[in-house]
Chain A
């Protein structure tokens, strides 16, 4: 067997990618280990995040040195993460399907490229710019127009009733997230629709279906798994989104949202907003507990991505980037 230095180099460099993924997991787990042993399952079901008394001498609890009264529970942030992502998907999936159908079937080919570019630009806008727009435009709109309008229409449901507040909160965060995941879902579904075999369409036409009926009854059912996969891909993105949510969510601490206008905090945005104060903890347990949140986010994102990739099929194409 001959030794091929070039191939060895390639294998070595290529293995850096899985190694990076492994390193993220190993180092986050190792760093947050004291927090894992101290917090236990309480971490996932506790409702208070308290750094404890940082001025008193720390005490040893469960074999770990922590400030007196330290209590790390992230149930509120888990709820914030799941609620924002769920509402975002409820908005984004029908809209994305509409956009995908419009771009794939509803346009002359001359218009397809420029209008597709609009959706691609939506994906290119940085997260922090979405946050800026949310701060300057969306939150006033939610406080004065969208919120009152929604309450007037759906106010009989408790979740949509009650005080609207400043506009920062669940609704604003979900709208921003929806805008950010629409390009992902719409592009995947549009490309899947474009790959539906002509025979399928022609068969439906031959049965006398209108153009829209062809799309609705013949094309959409064949791309159903792609839609689910794209939705989960979008979910993964929404769960981990940080800056845009941080800037419009109102940053609620230690209380659950009472309605769709309430301020909330997600796990990802909590990490950014709290690291500064966590560093004040001389025992370092707060920083380690934040690492535990990052570890959980990592596991969630890996699982959602694996499910999404399995559903959209192993044979990826350029569109699945």
Chain B
């Protein structure tokens, strides 16, 4: 490239390298700025909408409180864990301890595939099978099961990884003492793998807290507090408020939407802080996002 003045080859290469680093830094800013703006917007508008009645009253049309949605979200996430935690943990144990054969490899692969299925597809599946097929209608059970299918691959994965990190010599020591397989797994490997399992469960909670699409046609929506019925009874949840109330042309509806977003973000942030504390305390096994 002919320049009006003479630039040494070294200077040009240094200049281009500097430009490269600058572009890399700019990309980071391009990503960090929207995140900060998302947090800033949600916290500013959410805090101004926050009030005591939010936690004491149920929604009344498009105003009132969020008590029904808060308790509903907690019920749905808890319900999802009831199914996903045992299945995911046991599957993870199988994959790490016995999963070297063809069956193990297949399951590991399909576990990844299941994690990649769009949540709306799982939601529609549940709508077709549980809500219509089984006749459960919009219900806690249908919503929880859908969330459980969504998060179970993550629990299985985290459990598998944390069991794999338990040194084999410890297992062998257990066998040398004459312990049975079950005892070696539950008494020796499990305590060491526990922080990793907890990470997986927290990760699952964070995902389940923020989901919307698979719940709209499985859990429905309700203005009332959940009455404890597992089926035939729709339930409210926070993410529905965000999606649906922001489209209403009323200030009270917008305030509720931002308050709900604030609560969801706050819960997800708390779970993530918990995650990073556990991760830093244990081994430097840092799982990436998603």
CB distance from B198 to the nearest CB of A (A): 15
Q: Is A177 in contact with chain B by the CB < 8 A criterion?
A: no
A119-B289, A240-B121, A247-B246 as given contacts; A10 in contact with B98, CB under 8 Å: yes
B126-164 interface mask toward A, CB cutoff 8 Å, 1 = contact, 0 = none?
Answer: 011100010000000000000001001110111001000
A211 interface residue (CB < 8 Å to B): yes
> Is B152 a contact of A102 with CB atoms below 8 Å?
no
Assess the A304–B116 pair: CB atoms within 8 A.
yes
Question: Which stretch from B59-67, B227-235, B280-288 is at the chain A interface?
Answer: B280-288
List B contacts of A305 (CB < 8 A): 112-113, 116
Interface pair A133/B37, CB less than 8 Å apart? yes
Question: Which residue of the partner chain A has the closest CB to B285?
Answer: A318
Distance in angstroms between the alpha carbons of A256 and B185 in the assembled complex: 58
Pair B211/A102 contact, Cβ less than 8 Å: no
Note all chain B residues with C-beta closer than 8 A to A233: 116
- Could you tell me the distance between the alpha carbons of A225 and B45 in the complex, rounded to whole angstroms? 43
Interface residues of A in 183-241 (CB under 8 A from B): 183-184, 186-188, 190-191, 210-213, 215-216, 233, 236-237, 239-241
Asked whether any CB of chain B lies closer than 8 Å to the CB of A121, the reply is yes
Within B22-37, which residues are at the interface with A (CB < 8 Å)? 23-28, 30-32, 34-35, 37
Check B242–A129 contact: CB distance below 8 A.
yes
Counting CB contacts under 8 A, is A60 at the interface? Answer: no
Minimal Cβ-Cβ distance residue in B for A241: B118
Output the nearest chain A residue to B196 by Cβ-Cβ distance. Answer: A318
| Residue in chain B with minimal CB distance to A122 | B35
A13-B91, A14-B107 known; A21+B213 contact, CB < 8 A: no
Pick the interface stretch among B49-57, B169-177, B187-195, B260-268.
Answer: B260-268
B290 contacts which chain A residues (CB < 8 A)?
A: 123, 183-184, 187, 237, 321
Contact call A183/B289, Cβ cutoff below 8 A = yes
How many residues in A have their beta carbons less than 8 Å from beta carbons of B?
97
User: Contact check: which of A9, A122, A131 meets B31 at CB < 8 Å?
Assistant: A122
Q: Is the CB of A136 within 8 A of B118?
A: no
| Chain B nearest Cβ from A227, distance in angstroms | 14
> Is B109's CB within 8 Å of the partner chain A?
yes
Chain A residues in the interface with B (C-beta under 8 A) = 4, 6-7, 9-11, 13-18, 20-21, 23-24, 27-28, 31, 94-99, 101-103, 106, 115, 117-133, 135-137, 179, 182-184, 186-188, 190-191, 210-213, 215-216, 233, 236-237, 239-243, 246-247, 268, 271-272, 275, 290-291, 294, 297-298, 301-302, 304-306, 308-309, 314, 316, 318-321
A sample of 17 more A-B contacts (CB under 8 A), given A137-B38, A137-B41, A243-B243, is A6-B185, A13-B91, A18-B106, A28-B121, A28-B125, A102-B21, A123-B289, A123-B290, A125-B268, A126-B209, A126-B264, A128-B239, A129-B210, A233-B116, A242-B212, A321-B158, A321-B287
